[in-house]
Amino acid sequence: MTDHFLQEKFDNRRFLLLNINKIWQIAVGAVAGACLFAFVYYLKTDILMGEPLYRAQTLYEIVFDREQVDNIHDYYNDYTWNEVLDSDRIAGRAAEIVGDFSKEEIAAATTIPTMSDIRFIWVYVDMESGEQADRVMMAIGESLQEFALSTDGFKEIVVWDVKKTEQISEDSLIGRMTVAGAVIGALAACFVICFVGVMDDSIYTEKDVEERFGVLPAGVIMRAEKEQPEFFEKELADNLKKLLGDKLGTKGNGKIGYLMADPASGVDGGQEKEHLKELLTRYFPNADILEVSGELPERSDQKIEENNQGKYQMLKELDAFILQVPYGTKDGMFLELVWKDLTLQGCLPDAVVIVGADEKFYRRYYRK
């Protein structure tokens, strides 16, 4: 039963027509994604970052004493200098000079970026005020000079350039984050639409009936909000005359029954059933037109087997039988169950009619 569903060919035309009105959902997804990403970025950069920091920046020149240690410059890179900066000889000594900050606090606030020349190092000190950053930088400068004088391979470390201490302000990425959020939100909405579309097992087109049940439907009855379109009504009438006429004979005598495959689907087929009954009466005036009510299989706990067998027996007593299949009601698996039971009970319908269809969809699908 589910093999038919899995083996069905994907109908691009049907999918696009059914989902063309959902483009607004993609727009909503884009807007939601943009707002979410922008809000998270704002939250991270403006709320959770806490108090603004001020950065003191000083460029120091390193004068090596290669007569003492010829290859010392091979050892000191930006990674090594950051370790030295966090040590007792630099951060610890600077803490002693400043007095109101610990070694750990100074180590956390002080960094050396990537070096482009082994003879120069930039030192950054980030503190909560410009005054604090300047004081710590002065202490770092003294500590570096003491370090150079007490370490083999160095002559001195002196100030080469000093930049003005300013508040740290990174380039805002709010625009990029908003665009990224819009793209991801739109893609997420597309995924949801595609997922829902692929998982939709409803009967929409005559091709769906053929692929699910292996029979060609006689036609379709539109939602009875207005008169039935002439083209589709004529097609249905011609096919019913052919399919049922062979069973009723030349005089058209006999019993014709019709049954809604899934009354619980939400398509009660009230006016649509009346239209079908009028159509049958018009072309088979000598026949008895009967409605078989209830579900097959019965979804009630009361005398299920007895009720089902009675309905199957009623269907067998008919000269011709029409099965009405509801349009777009997300019950494709249940309809396959109904068809399976009708097959096993030997009560296959003589005609299948799709009921409650969307005229606009059908006109676009068949371009009529």
Do residues 220 and 232 touch, judged by C-beta distance below 8 A? yes
Identify whether residues 152 and 290 lie together within a single domain: no
pLDDT value at residue 368: 60
Looking at the domain assignment, is residue 97 inside a domain?
yes
The DSSP output letter for 75 is: T
Structural domain containing residue 242: 203-366
pLDDT value at residue 298: 60
Identify whether residues 112 and 208 lie together within a single domain: no
Identify whether residues 230 and 331 lie together within a single domain: yes
Do residues 123 and 86 touch, judged by C-beta distance below 8 A? no
Strands laid side by side in the 320-326 sheet = 219-222, 351-357, 320-326, 254-260, 287-291
Looking at the domain assignment, is residue 191 inside a domain?
no
The H or E element spanning position 90 is none
Burial class (CB in 10 A: 0-12, 13-18, 19+), 255: middle
Looking at the domain assignment, is residue 187 inside a domain?
no
Identify whether residues 325 and 220 lie together within a single domain: yes
Identify whether residues 76 and 219 lie together within a single domain: no
Identify whether residues 214 and 361 lie together within a single domain: yes
Looking at the domain assignment, is residue 311 inside a domain?
yes
Number of structural domains found in the chain: 2
Identify whether residues 162 and 226 lie together within a single domain: no
CATH at 216: 3.40.50
CATH at 109: 3.30.70
Half-sphere CA count of 167, side-chain side, radius 13 A: 4
The two tokens of residue 25 are: 């959902």
Q: Decide which of 167, 193, 225 is a domain's last residue.
A: 167
Do residues 84 and 90 touch, judged by C-beta distance below 8 A? yes
User: Mind listing the pLDDT tens digit for each residue in 12-67?
Assistant: 888 888 888 899 999 999 999 999 999 998 888 766 666 778 899 999 998 888 77
Looking at the domain assignment, is residue 280 inside a domain?
yes
Identify whether residues 256 and 353 lie together within a single domain: yes
pLDDT value at residue 2: 44
Task: List own/partner pairs for 178-182 with CB under 8 A and 24 or more apart.
Answer: 178/34, 178/37, 178/38, 179/34, 180/37, 181/33, 181/34, 181/35, 181/36, 181/37, 181/38, 182/30, 182/31, 182/33, 182/34, 182/37
Q: Decide which of 167, 185, 216 is a domain's last residue.
A: 167
Which CA distances in Å does 281 have to 77, 231, 246, 296?
97, 19, 16, 25
* Beta pairing class for 120-127 and 110-111: antiparallel
pLDDT value at residue 282: 86
pLDDT value at residue 325: 92
* Phi/psi of residue 39, nearest 5 degrees: -65, -45
Euclidean distance between CA atoms 36 and 184, whole angstroms: 11
Looking at the domain assignment, is residue 176 inside a domain?
no
Identify whether residues 254 and 110 lie together within a single domain: no
* Phi/psi of residue 357, nearest 5 degrees: -75, 160
Euclidean distance between CA atoms 354 and 346, whole angstroms: 22
What is the DSSP secondary-structure string of 35-59?
Answer: HHHHHHHHIIIIITT-S--EEEEEE
Looking at the domain assignment, is residue 49 inside a domain?
no
Identify whether residues 349 and 256 lie together within a single domain: yes
DSSP three-state, residue 136? helix
Query: Residue ranges of the chain with pLDDT lower than 50?
Result: 1-6, 302-304
pLDDT value at residue 169: 75
Looking at the domain assignment, is residue 177 inside a domain?
no
Do residues 165 and 130 touch, judged by C-beta distance below 8 A? yes
Do residues 169 and 154 touch, judged by C-beta distance below 8 A? no
Q: Decide which of 107, 142, 167 is a domain's last residue.
A: 167
pLDDT value at residue 245: 81
Identify whether residues 262 and 306 lie together within a single domain: yes
